[in-house]
């Protein structure tokens, strides 16, 4: 049976995305797409993440008949994208701005097989509690802010920053599981959901 299924490839260097995709109980291979992630002038964050997910798929165009899955996540505050912090000063500034208010997290997921391509965009609203300077200092002394959009990881210590969340948590971590499962089903790949270890 399994040999009739399309081979699934996750086009991502994010270990979080690989862990989330594994939760669907599907076998897949991982390969990273290296693209220029510079936003275009006046590009809206929603358009930006969709373009990024699709350009990651474009960059891995030679995967033959495999079903390719790529994604991009950004944190949005006042209509402005907060990407990954470049240094500690930028990470601090992001966390100060996120403190005591709500922001949006968008993830775009692109599934592509041959000429067939579908992209979904998922939004989660996250409200942070007030973050004191001491708390931000302590957080910056960990590894967590690095390589994360908005300089935080909801799945780690920053889980205690979150007062309220409206929407998908997996979307914030980098791959919305409901929408990804449904997207893969559109391409005939049904989540395994067998042999769980939880």
Ligand X SMILES: Cc1cn([C@H]2C[C@H](O)[C@@H](COP(=O)(O)OP(=O)(O)OP(=O)(O)O)O2)c(=O)[nH]c1=O
Distance (Å, whole) CA 134 – CA 154: 19
Distance (Å, whole) CA 166 – CA 180: 18
State the CB neighbour count (10 A cutoff) for residue 43: 13
Nearer CB in complex with ligand X: 133/159 = 159
Sign of CA pseudo-dihedral 82, 85, 87, 91: positive
Smallest gap from Cβ 172 to ligand X, in A, equals: 5
Q: Are 114 and 65 in contact (CB under 8 A)?
A: yes
Max CA pair span of the chain: 56
Active-site annotation holder among 58, 72, 87, 186: 72
Smallest gap from Cβ 82 to ligand X, in A, equals: 9
In 3D space, the residue among 21, 37, 103, 25 whose CA is nearest the CA of residue 69 turns out to be 21
Nearer CB in complex with ligand X: 7/162 = 162
Distance (Å, whole) CA 162 – CA 15: 22
Nearer CB in complex with ligand X: 2/34 = 34
Active-site residue, 72 included: yes
Residues that bind ligand X (CB under 6 A): 12-14, 16-17, 32, 71-73, 75, 84, 105, 147-150, 152-155, 172-174
Smallest gap from Cβ 3 to ligand X, in A, equals: 28
For residue 125, the SS3 value is: strand
Smallest gap from Cβ 46 to ligand X, in A, equals: 14
Nearer CB in complex with ligand X: 43/190 = 43
Nearer CB in complex with ligand X: 113/124 = 124
User: What single DSSP character describes residue 158?
Assistant: G
Sign of CA pseudo-dihedral 35, 69, 127, 146: negative
For the annotated catalytic residues, the residue numbers are 72
């Amino acid at each position: 049976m399994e040999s009739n299924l399309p081979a699934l490839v996750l086009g991502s260097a994010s270990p979080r995305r690989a862990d989330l995709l594994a939760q669907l109980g599907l076998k897949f291979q991982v390969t990273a797409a290296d693209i220029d992630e510079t936003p275009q002038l006046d590009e809206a964050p929603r358009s930006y993440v969709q373009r990024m997910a699709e350009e990651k798929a474009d960059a891995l165009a030679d995967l033959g008949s495999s079903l390719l899955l790529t994604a991009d996540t950004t944190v949005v505050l006042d209509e402005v994208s907060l990407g990954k912090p470049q240094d500690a000063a930028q990470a601090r500034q992001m966390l100060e701005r996120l403190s005591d208010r709500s922001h949006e997290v968008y993830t775009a997921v692109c599934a592509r097989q041959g000429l067939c391509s579908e992209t979904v965009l998922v939004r989660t609203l996250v409200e942070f509690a007030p973050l004191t300077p001491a708390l931000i200092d302590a957080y910056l002394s960990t590894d967590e802010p690095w390589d994360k959009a908005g300089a935080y990881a909801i799945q780690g210590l920053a889980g205690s920053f979150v007062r309220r969340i409206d929407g998908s948590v997996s979307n914030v971590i980098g791959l919305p599981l409901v929408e990804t499962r449904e997207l893969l089903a559109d391409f005939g790949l049904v989540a395994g959901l067998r042999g769980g270890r939880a």
